[in-house]
Structure 1
Amino acid sequence: MPIEMNYRSTIKSHSFLFIEMKNLCRLRIQGFNDVELEEKILCDDLFQVVSESRRRELKSIILKRMHVLDFYLIKKLVISDLATGRLIALYALILTDRLFREFMVEVVADKLATRDDQLTNADFDHFFERKRQQSVRVNSWTDYTFYKLRQVMIRILLESGFLRVNKSTRHLIRPIIDPDVRTHLADLGQPEITTALVGD
């Protein structure tokens, strides 16, 4: 189940982090427990970042994402083809970030279902305006926060294989993934998220 109940704008400093997620999952399938993983991140600088505060920040967010995956998906993220691995990492991000999850379900899935593959700035504006009307917290964010959120969401979709840019036009696409992973995601019983990621 999704675990992030509150709206947060922290995704703008976390982004997709696929390589970091894959490195952590690789250690998990080798048998490392959470304490050992934390040591790898903080003491051995697994993610190769200079600042200790940034190491702690990444530790928190990537462990959180990994914890929403079952062992099957953790393993598949590491050993599958790139498109499948990236989609699993995107699934983990969706489960841990309410705003991005709702964007995928309310905007991306709807556009793909209606064969409208163009993702425009107006799509983001309309989505953010709905969230501002629904949430006092979101309504308190600055215009710059929304600008950064749009930038980061576009980058996440690009890095996950859900978006390609042709000149100045953004086109949504669904990556072709391992059919066993597609079935496993459907079996997890979260139809809105599954539809957003792999279709009906």
Structure 2
Amino acid sequence: MDRNRKYMASLTREPFMYYEMKTTAKLKLEGLSDEEIIEKVFQENLYQYPTNRSLKTRAKGCLKRLSHLDDESLAWIVNRPTEVSKQVCLYAFMIDSRLIWEFMITVIGEKYQTLNYSYSSSDINIFLTRLREQNEQVSQWSEATFKKLKSVLGSLLRENGYIDNNKSTKLNLVMLDYKLKDKIIENGDEVCLPAFNYFNQG
């Protein structure tokens, strides 16, 4: 993760997108170029949206995240059980987004590390408020953007099994797939392991 990377408000338009990520990963494994994937998604409405207005934008967003993964990881998204597949997508999302990276490590990872499994939407509010106070770029985002970001972060936790629903008061104990754990370490990203409730005993 590049610590100098800017925080991107595009998260409001490009949330977790698991179905889209899996569809796009399959096309990449078939050998299509990024341009061919974008066009195929658009022409055939592969994401099954009611309109094609955001298809190209979402396809580009998926490709950007997937560009951080090797072919083996792409295959895991397509071929392994949903729980593992989603973890790989989450890892790609974290690498691609500084905001997601920091939220998952400094909020969720910190809770696991301190054995504090309490949770409420205020955890998201506090994180975004601090970010707003500490970063001039983020401080210029609109209230509507912050409201949407809260929804994106909440949905991200729910879709990946960290919480059961939006009214949850505790974090679930997620279990990191061992192959993905090895891949994260291999990539030099072990600092993010606590976000997956994994702590290297070494």
- TM > 0.5 between the two? yes
Mapped contact 2:113–2:197 kept (Cα < 8 A): no
Mapped contact 1:77–1:88 kept (Cα < 8 A): yes
- Deviation string 1:18-75 (CA, Å, 9 cap, x unpaired) is 0111011112222222232122112222212354431121121011011111111101
C-alpha separation between the residues in 1 aligned to 2:176 and 2:189?
A: 18
C-alpha separation between the residues in 1 aligned to 2:55 and 2:145?
A: 23
- Name the residue aligned to 1:54: 54
Identity of matched residues, %: 26
C-alpha separation between the residues in 2 aligned to 1:23 and 1:45?
A: 11
RMSD value, Cα: 2.1
Normalized against structure 1, the TM-score is what? 0.89
Gaps of 5+ in 2: none
C-alpha separation between the residues in 1 aligned to 2:172 and 2:4?
A: 26
Gaps of 5+ in 1: none
- Counterparts in 2 of 1:69-84, with a 5 A limit? 69-84=69-84
Give runs of ≥4 in structure 1 deviating > 6 Å.
none
C-alpha separation between the residues in 2 aligned to 1:57 and 1:21?
A: 13
Structure 2 residue matching 1:170: 3-state secondary structure: coil
- Counterparts in 2 of 1:1-200, with a 5 A limit? 1-2=1-2, 5-165=5-165, 168-200=167-199
The structure whose RCO (Cα within 8 Å, separation 6+) is larger is: 1
C-alpha separation between the residues in 1 aligned to 2:144 and 2:82?
A: 33
Q: What displacement does 1:174 show?
A: 4.3
* Paired AA for residue 184 in structure 1: K
The number of equivalent residue pairs is: 199
C-alpha separation between the residues in 1 aligned to 2:64 and 2:173?
A: 25
Normalized against structure 2, the TM-score is what? 0.88
